[in-house]
Amino acid sequence: MMSSGDNDRMKDIVFTRGGWIPSVVRQDGELRLLLGAGADATHSPRTFTFPVREDHLAVIREDLGRHLLLWSAVIPLCDAAGTRGPLDESAAVALLDPILLSPPADVDALFRRIPWARGTLVAHGADIEMLDGGRVHAATRTATETPDRKRAQDDAARRRRAARGVTLSPLDAAILRYTGQYAHGATIPKRLPDAVDPVLLPEVMRVLATAEQACAGLSIGRDPRQGKRATDKRDWKRMEAAVGGAVRGVHPGLADDAVRTVSFLLCSEAADRAKDTLLDDGNATGERAGTVLSFTDDKKTEKTWRPGSRLSATAEFWEFVGDRSATDNKVFTIEDEERGEGIQVHFYADSAARITTVREGTDGSGPEYRVEYALIDGMSGYRGLVGAFVRGGCAALDGLGPWMSDNEEFERARQRRDAAR
């Protein structure tokens, strides 16, 4: 939208450098600077115009640096307009003479007082050291019409690190470039050897070799309690600690940012390998012959597993959990009705109950059950519990306790466990 509200009025382009660099247009006989910045409520680009004079146009034509400086100074005014507001034309016009017609020293002084879009100048080749030193006019002598957005992203990342007191060595920076996390630390890391200076690549690979050796034999499993493709956070932290400790020990000069990106790379790769892997106890052949099991959740949804099914009972149960688990659905049961026993897992409390039938119901009376409770240690504890029950029923769980039949005793044990965490 035009700041002046005259989108449909005819405009003749008087001067343009192409791309997003502002153009000068003639509209109803008046020279105006036309630029795109920000977006409206529908995320469509907004455009703004404000008047300029012939002497301003002459400088814009001849001096790319001052043209870019004007652009970078007007961008904050466009941002202030938001998704619907008008451009403050008076403030924009007030920038023209000081930026386009004033001596370099006065331009530098102005940029020390006003907000401006540093990334625009950096992307178009402005000298970064001069910008850091406040010499914005001289910095634009190296400017180009073609932008390099990556250069601006890297500069912004460097400044964010500097604000945290972090200075990267060439090797630190090379490691971050290898993982694709130099500019954006929250992105999923990758292996990008072509992004690294060939001189530094062998050193980067030595660091990676240390990390890979440290996590050999470790894996990161799924945690269906949190969803179908969720990662076991405990596995992740264990691998992260192993990699971080080894890399810091062998390469003590590395910055924390570099160590973290290596740990993140190895952990994310391990998690990715596991995301489509079925959860099994590793011993499906040990399942009791002829046993039919039923799975239920806290919403009374039920699923029956029978011998000969495509998946083992343990894998089928964890797929059921992954599909059904939610913040309001954290209790699941496995029941062997024929043998009169089952287990109930309480994901919200890291606990479980085993239930055995002591006496069948007769003459109108209900059956009598023995219920025993145990604390469970994370996803690995639940996997062991489910696998043992599938293979051997409640009797196979004796070594996974202690099991407590007194509910108050169990509650005290749970509170002690939670307090110690």
One domain for residues 15 and 145: yes
One domain for residues 317 and 387: yes
One domain for residues 293 and 268: no
Task: Give the Cα separation of 219 and 127 in Å (integer).
Answer: 46
Which residue has tokens 């990662």? Answer: 231
Structure confidence by residue, pLDDT tens digits, 156-167: 999 999 999 999
Structure confidence by residue, pLDDT tens digits, 339-394: 999 999 999 999 999 999 987 766 667 778 899 999 999 999 999 999 999 999 99
For residue 115, name the pLDDT band (cuts at 50, 70, 90).
very high
Whether the full predicted model's pTM is greater than 0.85, yes or no, is: no
One domain for residues 253 and 322: no
Structural domain contains residue 56: yes
One domain for residues 71 and 144: yes
Structural domain contains residue 2: no
What mean pLDDT, rounded, does the chain reach? Answer: 92
Structural domain contains residue 3: no
Structure confidence by residue, pLDDT tens digits, 54-91: 999 999 999 999 999 999 999 999 999 998 899 999 99
One domain for residues 311 and 234: no
One domain for residues 194 and 139: no
For residues 298-312, give the mean pLDDT: 93
Other CB atoms within a 10 A radius of the CB of residue 252 amount to: 7
One domain for residues 190 and 76: no
Residues ≥6 apart with Cβ < 8 Å to 370: 355, 356, 358, 405
One domain for residues 91 and 33: yes
Structural domain contains residue 156: no
One domain for residues 199 and 264: yes
One domain for residues 353 and 244: no
Structural domain contains residue 163: no
Structural domain contains residue 161: no
What is the model's pLDDT at position 5?
40
Domain-terminating residue out of 151, 177, 201: 151
Domain-terminating residue out of 239, 274, 309: 274
Structure confidence by residue, pLDDT tens digits, 40-55: 788 888 999 999 999 9
What is the total count of domains within the chain?
3
Structural domain contains residue 16: yes
Structural domain contains residue 39: yes
One domain for residues 290 and 231: no
Q: Which domain holds residue 15?
A: 11-151
